[in-house]
Structure 1
Amino acid sequence: MRTEHRFRTPLSLAAAVAALALLVPGTSSAAPAPAEAEAAAQATLVWSDEFNGPSGSAPSAANWNHETGDHGWGNNELQNYTNSRANSALDGNGNLVITARREADGSYTSARMTTQNKVQPQYGRVEARIKIPRGQGIWPAFWMLGSGFPDTPWPNSGEIDIMENIGREPHMVHGSLHGPGYSGGNPLTGSYMHPQGWSFADDFHTFAVDWRPGSVTWSVNGNAYQTYTSADTRGNPWVYDQPFFMILNVAVGGNWPGYPDGSTQFPQQMVVDYVRVYSLDGSGGGGTGTITASNGICLDVAGAQTGDGTPIQLANCNGNQAQQWTVGSDGTVRALGKCLDVAGGATGAGTRVQLWTCNGTGAQRWTHVSGSQALRNPQSGRCLQPVGRTQSDGTRTEIANCDGSAVQRWNLP
């Protein structure tokens, strides 16, 4: 099992003062960007998990992995992460519930879920509506890691903490960047205090980052409270212009939150209404990363070959360059330096889709349809789907009559 990568220590007095200064406009160089309201109006939903399903069912395996283990996760945490429904399950009311428990033998269990190799956005608004748990030693988090992890080790991989809370601060949440030269107890970080000083565990709140090339802005319930840019890394690398995967977890104990005491009650639950990713430019794309079908399998260049005419297929997500697509503002969808192309510029249903040298023709123009999430070729008026409508490893792709079905739904980076 891999180890954790957040080595958080209690804030020094100076750091605490600096963090609280972020709550007062104009007191920090990391002030929120003024264009957030305008950006909100342009946001377009490109992926979501609404956690709809029967009570007691598992979260979607197309979106989520479970990481398991009880080795302390690099922070001397106490919990054993499991894939049991006792620790992560849908509640039947449109929520995911992650439950931290104290077991009969005095040990602790919880859950840690990631979208690694399944949903890995690059840029956009990444948000979740969450009702956090409470109590001394309880540590809920919604955060992201660079898709190169663990091959690219932390902190070089990059980490974006969208929301963290430690139980002894019920009225406070934290947002941070961890990268090379600014990690562990010395991240780029700030905090947001509940406007009324109430506990964030009392109700649902929406925690988000608006993430663009060279900048990240944090918000709670639509209120932006800090922005960091590539100019703020103290001369160290900015490692956030790449795909990231998302993580939801509830830790018990650790160096930063401390440990449960007599006041801590179990079980504790983090209730997640949804997790959503929006494009901030209204295009429904614009990033670089994986394109996934509705069952989570990846759009792939067969054999990672770069020759004109190489088939485009579905393949199990593996993180290689044959599955890294760039959605261009010109309507192209590119991988390995070439374009997603309708063979021969044909328009008939059943025409295969291939990789081809980018040439500016209508055969290489695509739009991501709002609502159905179809990837449509305007020249033909038809939509991308797997041949035979089979979403399995090795299935080639074609254009077909657009019908709004799940096999024509694609999640873009």
Structure 2
Amino acid sequence: MASRRPLRRCLLAALSAVLAGAAAVGPAQASPSPASAAPTAAMFSGFSDTFDGPAGAAVDSAKWQTETGDNVNNHERQYYTPGTRNAALDGQGHLVITARRENPGGYQCWYGTCQYTSARLNTSGKFDAQYGHVEARMKIPRGQGMWPAFWMLGTPVNWPDSGEIDIMENVGFEPSTVHGTIHGPGYSGSGGIGAAYSLPNGQAFADAFHTFAVDWAPGSITWSVDGTVYQRRTPADLGGRTWVFDKPFFLILNLAVGGYWPGDPDGSTSMPQQLVVDSVSVTTSDSPAGALPIRGPAGKCVDVAGANPADGTPVQLYDCNGTAAQQWTAGSDGTLRALGKCLDVKDNATADGSQVQLWDCTGGPNQKWALPAARDIVNPQADKCLDATGGSSANGTRLQIWTCTGAANQKWTVG
């Protein structure tokens, strides 16, 4: 096992449901006010688990495997058990990972007889991803010595050279704060590179469910909590050390007890404690099963020019060709994504004629889109529609936002 830093029920639906019954671009029609039009649920996911099943059942073995044993590397106190005593569905659409102060199996740990049990699950050999939007909606435990985490390891595992992406870690003595970190060759353990995010006004993460996510693209990883971006890392942050995050990684969920970073439980720690996971999803940007084309005037597709994932690449109309440059997913945060990045209104503008482009996902309002049933694609901040410039359907026509008119150059069909 890797030594780490001591330091919604919204199941994503197919984009085609956005425009149910619309098979082709139709004639111009009146458009309802985008301010009042309700957005529709969107997108397939490359991986999705909402943990539906009877209370006490095990997780889906086609998606997850259970690790067992202790972890001397971090001096953690728990023994990760098999079975369902420490990891089971609750019958209400959650996975519950429970840390208990007990040792019914007589387990032996690095320090002697184990004092605690818990669980650790991963998707190794069942699912891995390279790039995309990776998120989990969870309610974390509370108390000194608790160490919940949602993270990823690079394959094949040869830590730290193979890399680690910590999407969310919390240590119990910081109830209002979570950490996001990367580890690799020359920047592992306590030398990992990351940042922290804290809730305002002393709120505790254990009091409610929160969504922890990364947007992962070639050469960049961006962290967010509940859609608020708090950190972005690129190779430029590594001081000349090797960036090892442009390859497949698998997912891990676990609840550790004690260790170098969180310290051990003490008399203030109430047991058992639970990590309650509502959903886990990965939207891959390069999987045809995880994305769909968006067709517009003359049946042409919304296209990233030259299939270039660089920030600022124009988004245009082009003949539909099935490439990754025309495969779009809609995130649960209201974004539209291709090539691991977001459809973005340039310079956060709201005026008619403001161009759209590809850009790293930031969580900003210029990257939010609503998908009303009238087949408009609306930026709510500007209260304007995605529009093919000049009403043209020629290849290379740049896309922009414009006051919603109901014209054919603002009508889009997904799928």
- Shorter-chain TM-score category? 0.5 to 0.7
- Residues 46, 287 of structure 2: 8 Å contact kept: no
Q: Does 1:63 align with 2:71?
A: no
Q: Deviations over 1:313-336 (max 9, x none)?
A: xxxxxxxxxxxxxx952799xxxx
TM-superposition CA deviations, 1:19-70 (whole Å, max 9, x none): xxxxxxxxxxxxxxxxxxxxxx997533201100010000010011111002
RMSD of Structure 2 on Structure 1 (CA): 2.3
Q: Which secondary structure state, in structure 1, belongs to the residue aligned with residue 206 of structure 2? A: helix
Q: Secondary structure at the match of 1:60?
A: coil
User: What secondary structure is seen at the aligned counterpart in 2 of 1:142?
Assistant: strand
**Structure 2 Cα separation of the partners of residues 104 and 242 of structure 1:** 39
* Counterpart selection for 1:5 from 3, 6, 11: 3
**Distance apart, 1:202 and its partner CA:** 0.3
CA distance in 2, matches of 1:328, 1:279: 14
Q: Which amino acid in structure 2 is aligned with residue 236 of structure 1?
A: R
Unaligned runs of 5+ in 2: 8-40, 105-113, 292-321, 328-415
Q: What is the CA deviation profile of residues 167-188 of structure 1, one whole-angstrom value per residue up to 9, with x for unaligned ones?
A: 0000000000001111111111
Q: How does 1:101-112 map to 2 (within 5 A)?
A: 101-103=100-102, 107-112=115-120
Tell me by how many angstroms 1:284 deviates: 4.8
Hey, what does 1:125 align to over in structure 2? 133
Structure 1 residues 187 and 235: alpha-carbon distance in aligned structure 2, compared to 1, 3 A threshold: same
Conserved 8 A contact 1:42-1:282: no
SS in 1 for 2:202: coil
Give the residue type in structure 2 aligned to 1:130: M
Is the Cα–Cα contact under 8 Å of residues 285 and 324 in structure 2 kept in the other structure?
no
Deviations 1:286-325 (A, max 9, x none): 9xxxxxxxxxxxxxxxxxxxxxxxxxxxxxxxxxxxxxxx
Provide the rounded CA distance (Å) in 2 between the counterparts of 1:207 and 1:221. Answer: 6
Report the residue type matching 2:198 in the other structure. Answer: M
Which residue is 1:164 aligned to?
169
Report the residue type matching 1:76 in the other structure: H
Is the 2:44–2:289 contact (alpha carbons within 8 Å) kept by the matching residues of 1?
yes
How many residues were matched structurally?
A: 255
* Equivalent residue, structure 2, for 1:147: 155
Report the equivalent of 1:241: 246
Cα gap change, 1:285/1:236 in structure 2, threshold over 3 Å: closer, same or farther?
Answer: farther
TM-score, scaled relative to structure 2: 0.58
- Alpha-carbon deviation of 1:83? 1.4
Q: Which of structures 1 and 2 has the larger relative contact order (alpha carbons within 8 angstroms, sep 6+)?
A: 2
Contact in 1 for aligned 2:5/2:192 (Cα 8 Å): no
Secondary structure in 2 aligned to 1:196? helix
In the aligned structure 2, how far is the partner of 1:128 from the partner of 1:73?
27
Q: Which of 201, 205, 212 lines up with 1:207 in the alignment?
A: 212
Aligned counterparts of 1:173 and 1:285: Cα–Cα separation in 2: 29
Tell me, in whole angstroms, the C-alpha distance in 1 between the residues paired with 2:260 and 2:52.
35
Match of 1:329 among 296, 304, 324: 324
User: CA separation of 1:247/1:282 partners in 2, compared to 1, >3 Å: closer, same or farther?
Assistant: closer
- Alpha-carbon distance in structure 1 between the residues aligned to 2:224 and 2:235: 19
Q: Distance in 2 between matches of 1:174 and 1:272?
A: 18
For 2:217, the aligned partner's letter is R
Please name the residue that 1:74 is paired with: 73
The 8 Å contact of residues 171 and 197 in structure 1, kept in 2 or not, is answered as yes
- Cα deviation digits, residues 133-162 of structure 1 (max 9, x gap): 01000000000000211xxx2110100000
% identical aligned pairs: 57
The match for 2:183 is 178
Asked if 1 retains the 8 angstrom alpha-carbon contact of 2:5 and 2:191, the reply is no
Q: Which AA in structure 1 matches 2:60? A: S
Partner of 1:99: 98
- CA separation in 2, counterparts of 1:213 and 1:82? 36
Query: Structure 2 vs 1, CA of residues 330 and 281 (structure 1 numbering), >3 Å: closer, same or farther?
Result: closer
Provide the rounded CA distance (Å) in 1 between the counterparts of 2:42 and 2:219: 19
For the 8 Å contact 1:43–1:279, the answer to whether it is kept is no
Letter of the 1:122 partner, please give it: Q
**What's the secondary structure of 1:185's corresponding residue?**
helix
Partner residue of 1:389? Answer: none
Cα gap change, 1:229 to 1:104, in 2 (>3 Å): closer
Structure 2 counterpart of 1:165, one-letter code: N
CA contact (8 A) 2:103 2:116 kept: no
What amino acid sits opposite 1:114 in the alignment?
A: N
Note the C-alpha offset of 1:4.
Answer: 3.0
Query: Partners of 1:100 and 1:254 in 2: how far apart?
Result: 14
Pair 1:195-2:194 in alignment: no
Supply the distance in 1 between the matched residues of 2:128 and 2:93 (Cα, whole angstroms). Answer: 23
Shift of residue 203, structure 1, vs aligned partner: 0.5
